[in-house]
Amino acid sequence: MTRWLAALPLVALAALALLFAGYALHHDPHVIPKALVGKTMPNLTLPTLEGDSEAHLRDALKQGPVLVNFFASWCGPCQLEQPALLSLKAQGVRIVGIDYEDVAPRGSPQNAKAFLAKLGDPYVARLADPDGRAGIEFGLSGVPETYLVASNGKVLAKYTNLGESDARALAARMLTAR
C-alpha cells in the first residue's frame, strides 16, 4: 500500500504529461484569438513616433479603410514582415504603424526610426505605444500584428506575421472594405 502512495505523484505527473501532449498535438499554434474582430476599433490618441505631437487613430479612417500594424525595432519577425508591408503600400494600401513598447532596455524611438530608414517605411502615420496600452486595447498577443479596419471603425480581421501571399489577399480585401 505504501508503494502505491509513493508512486502516486509519478502517476499524476505522467497523466499531466499525456494531457499536455494530447493538447499540443491537436492545437494549431497559428490560431490566434481574435477578440477585437467584429468590434469597433479603440478610440485612441497616441504620440507620434517623432514625439512632436499626438494623433487620433480614428482620424486615419476619414480616407477609407486602413491597416493598423504593430511593430517594434527589437522584433525579428517585424523585419521579415516589412517587405509585405512595402508591397501593400505600393498597391495603394494605407497603413498606420504603431511602434510597440520600443523603450529601454530593448529599444528606443530612435531605433524605430532607424529600423524604418533601413528597411523601408510603409506607413502613412507613425505612432508610438511606449507603455503598451494601445496593444492592450487591441488585444495584441505579440508583434508583429496587423488589423484590417473598415472606414466605419469596425475591425474586420487580424493578421500575424504577414507574408507576400497574405499581402496579395489583403490588398484585394481592402478594396471590398471600402
Respond yes or no on whether the N-terminal peptide bond of residue 144 is cis (omega within 30° of 0): yes
Within 10 angstroms of residue 55's Cβ, the number of other Cβ atoms is 17
Q: Which of 13-27, 35-49, 90-104, 130-144 has the lowest mean pLDDT?
A: 13-27
Residue 30 pLDDT greater than 50, yes or no: no
3-state secondary structure 38-88: CCECCCCEEEECCCCCEEEHHHHHHHCCEEEEEECCCCHHHHHHHHHHHHH
Any idea where the domains of the chain sit in the sequence?
A: 33-177
> Does an H or E element contain 13, and which?
helix 2-25
Closest CA to 72 of 97, 45, 96: 97
Integer Cα distance of 105 and 154 in angstroms: 35
The model's confidence at residue 28, banded by pLDDT at 50, 70 and 90, is: very low
CATH 3.40.30.10 applies to domain 33-177? yes
Look at residue 23 in the predicted model and tell me its pLDDT. Answer: 63
Give me the chain's average pLDDT, please.
87
The model's confidence at residue 31, banded by pLDDT at 50, 70 and 90, is: very low
Q: Which residue has the higher pLDDT, 33 or 44?
A: 44
Q: What percent of the chain has pLDDT over 70?
A: 87
176 grid coordinates = 471590398
Residue 169 pLDDT greater than 50, yes or no: yes
The model's confidence at residue 13, banded by pLDDT at 50, 70 and 90, is: confident
Integer Cα distance of 172 and 109 in angstroms: 32
58-116 pLDDT tens trace: 999 999 999 999 999 999 999 999 999 999 999 999 999 999 999 999 899 999 999 99
